[in-house]
With several copies, the nearest count.
Chain A
Amino acid sequence: MISVAITRAAFSPEAELAGFAARRDTGSGALASFIGYCRNKSADSAVEQLELDHYPGFTEREVERMTHGVGAKHGVGEILVIHRVGTIAAGEAIVLVAVASAHRAAAFAAAEELMDRLKTDAPFWKRELGPAGARWIEPTAQDYARREEHEE
């Protein structure tokens, strides 16, 4: 049960997590998850909102492909990904990744790798808007290094 949603609407990560947990295989004793929020401050300035651009059709397909790839690599079949696009207010959730598995190591590894790949390989473009104006955010050298660690 791999589920990927790209959505403009605000969502409750906890409600989605509860639904995912309720649908999981009852042999899956481990559920690792990650929620990424729009922060209210960046390195140097206040953030009022985030704007996430995507490529309709292509983005959905790429995130689905990435999710299935990570699931197959770690032997986990239960993954939920929800990723917002459009305008996101400070404090709101941008992304939820949840992985259920019989084994906690696989659940953690898959959730972390999926987040690392979303940061560098998923077709999204984002900018922070604050009192100082807008600023495009691109992956850091550290983000690319983390992604590289997952390559064989």
Chain B
Amino acid sequence: MTRILFFGRLRDVAGHGERDIDLPDDVATIADLRAWIGRDDAVLGDALRCRSIRACVNHVISIDDNASVKGAEEIAFMPPLSGG
């Protein structure tokens, strides 16, 4: 079971902030996950493909779309960060 989280404007697009999902075997990388989510929800899939959206796997922000998501407990999708 993997928890998928959406933050900021992605939460609006997804319609939820987090969901627990059993990832299918053929979802091996962040790129795979983006595509797989897009199959179910084209609008969210488009939003996720935006260059400014970064994935964070088990609390580590990844800049490599080919990074593995195998066995990940938490994967967050993040629009540009902005505090302060």
Contacts and interface: CB of A to CB of B under 8 A. Distances in A.
Interface stretch (A10-18, A20-28, A53-61, A68-76): A53-61
A122 interface: yes
A108 to B, nearest CB: 12
A118 B80 contact: no
Given A57-B59, A58-B59, A119 B8 contact: no
Interface in A111-131: 115, 118-127
Interface in B8-49: 8-9, 11
A94 B84 CA distance: 7
Contact of A138 (B11, B76, B80): B80
A58 B82 contact: no
A123 B78 contact: yes
Interface of B: 5, 7-9, 11, 52, 56, 59, 76, 78-84
Which of A55, A95, A121, A139 is packed against the most chain B CB atoms within 10 Å? A55
Interface residues of A, number: 28
B79 to A, nearest CB: 6
Contacts of A125: 7-9, 78-79, 81-82
A136 B7 CA distance: 11
A55 B76 contact: yes
A124 B59 contact: no
Nearest to A114: B84
Contact of B84 (A58, A95, A123): A95
17 contacts: A53-B11, A55-B76, A55-B78, A58-B56, A58-B59, A83-B84, A118-B83, A119-B82, A123-B78, A124-B82, A124-B84, A125-B79, A136-B9, A137-B82, A138-B79, A139-B80, A143-B82
Nearest to B74: A58
